[in-house]
Amino acid sequence: MIIDSHADFRKLLMHHVTTHWPDAVITEYDPVKTGNLPDEFSGAGNDVVLLGDQQGDRDPLHTLKLFARKTGFPPVVFFSTNELDRSTATRFKAEGFFLRDEIRHKSLIVRLGDIMRARRRTSSTDSLFVGDLSTGINPLIKGYRFIRKLAATEHSSVYLAERESGNEPVILKVLQQLPDLADGIGVFDRFLQEYELIADLHHPNIVKIYDLGVSDDHAHIVMEYLSGGDLKQKIDSGTSEAEAVSYLKQIASGLAKVHSVGVLHRDLKPGNVMLRGDGSLALIDFGLAKRMRLQQEITGSGEIFGTPYYMSPEQGRGNDVDARSDIYSLGVIFYEMLTGRKPYSGTNAMGIIYKHSEAPVPVLPHRLAVYQALLNMLMAKKPEDRLQSAAEVAGWL
């Protein structure tokens, strides 16, 4: 949970966190707009509270002191404009202190990681987690044999496995927490939505979902194994012009199907596009996808999800988004496939987000100029100036 009255500062902290932990569920609280938190606020349901010193008419150190007095209150990291506040914050049991104008990504992430590991070690619910990310202990999912762990975040682990009834390889995505834990509800809801949103979308450019279940108190999704790696690896090794065009058509076709049933991806990037052995592509990881009609209820106002390098201007500003936001991300990917580099770079997330809003659409090299008009229509700054549907991409090509 982030508590501070400055929206830009809250967004900055959110991007620091989500860059390292993409599945993090973050709640923003503005004490000026919404009012000071009630005295009975216990912090329940949060792993850590990030408390800024912009608290309106209330002394932020007094707020920290109130939190410190509460039994079982989650760890608090305090952000101040004044170095002199450090000793007082430490006395009031802040487990981290940062000057808000001098935050370094690595030091912040290291401190938050230490806090959460310590919290996990002292929690009476340790046995409810899926092993330990450092030990390689696998959860017991009946009907599947584990081959190896492929990836892990704070909330989920991804495994290569095979069915016990045969030798078919599959991907298992396993939730890190029980769904009925207070601090796991939001994570489990998003995990479950990932299955519900895409399980019925039968399309060659969308990953196949075989099953969702709960085994030995662990929620899991079983999905198609895509043996060709992700598009990021392909781009890093080099994509030809013909490949870039073919991949663009396939991604756009998958997006068109997703959008046709009222679903947004909202985190479209090369790492979320996988290749099969035959060279075809499939969209994956709809953990950030939301049904359009539920968007405000699910995310709340002002909350940002996604990856800054591929984020549309409106998403970067925390505004409402629709299918045209995914189309912008598609344009960023197309530029990267054609040129081998990202259109915008910066020293921090907010700098990149600013360029998406204010910098001109990048110009392709002369040899690729035939695609400039399409790129302009994909990456237009205003949604109304873009292609209005992913289905239009094939026609422009």
pLDDT of residue 190: 58
Give the ranges where the chain is alpha helix by DSSP (H): 7-20, 60-69, 85-91, 105-122, 185-198, 231-237, 241-260, 295-299, 313-316, 323-339, 349-358, 372-378, 392-396
Q: Is residue 51 situated within a structural domain?
A: yes
Token reading at 142: 């009946």
3-state SS record for 329-360? HHHHHHHHHHHCCCCCCCCCHHHHHHHHHHCC
Q: Which domain holds residue 215?
A: 144-224
**Is the domain of 251 the same as that of 391?**
yes
Size of the chain in residues: 397
**Is the domain of 360 the same as that of 238?**
yes
**Is the domain of 194 the same as that of 237?**
no
**Is the domain of 213 the same as that of 250?**
no
**Taking residues 138-152, what's their average pLDDT?**
76
Q: Is residue 40 situated within a structural domain?
A: yes
pLDDT tens for residues 235-289? Answer: 999 999 999 999 999 999 999 998 988 888 888 999 899 999 998 999 987 644 4
Global confidence as pTM: 0.61
pLDDT of residue 21: 84
pLDDT tens for residues 338-371? Answer: 999 999 988 888 889 999 999 999 999 999 999 9
**Residue 58: exposed, middle, or buried by beta-carbon count in 10 A (0-12, 13-18, 19+)?**
middle
Token reading at 121: 């070690």
pLDDT tens for residues 167-221? Answer: 789 998 887 554 444 444 455 555 566 567 678 888 999 999 888 776 555 678 8
| DSSP conformational letter for 176 | S
Contact (CB, 8 A) for 252 and 330: yes
Catalytic choice (4, 230, 267, 285): 267
| Cα dihedral across residues 296, 298, 301, 302: positive or negative | negative
pLDDT of residue 40: 77
Element (H, E) at 174: strand 169-175
CA distance 315 to 336: 20
Number of domains in the chain: 3
Which residue do the tokens 């060659």 mark?
Answer: 204
pLDDT tens for residues 51-84? Answer: 999 999 889 999 999 999 888 899 999 999 999 9
Q: Is residue 134 situated within a structural domain?
A: no
Catalytic (active site) residue 183: no
**Is the domain of 238 the same as that of 348?**
yes
Give the CATH number of the domain where residue 164 resides.
Answer: 3.30.200.20
**Is the domain of 344 the same as that of 288?**
yes
**Is the domain of 172 the same as that of 104?**
no
| DSSP conformational letter for 206 | B
Q: Is residue 132 situated within a structural domain?
A: no
**Is the domain of 245 the same as that of 198?**
no
CA distance 219 to 273: 24
**Is the domain of 205 the same as that of 236?**
no
**Is the domain of 276 the same as that of 390?**
yes
Give the CATH number of the domain where residue 328 resides.
Answer: 1.10.510.10
Which of 176, 197, 224 delimits the end of a domain? 224
**Is the domain of 178 the same as that of 258?**
no
Q: Which long-range contacts (CB under 8 A, 24 or more apart) does 92-99 make?
A: 92/61, 92/64, 92/65, 92/67, 92/68, 93/68, 94/51, 94/64, 94/68
Q: Is residue 290 situated within a structural domain?
A: yes
CA distance 374 to 396: 6
Contact (CB, 8 A) for 266 and 355: no
**Is the domain of 197 the same as that of 237?**
no
Which of 88, 123, 158 delimits the end of a domain? 123
Q: Is residue 271 situated within a structural domain?
A: yes
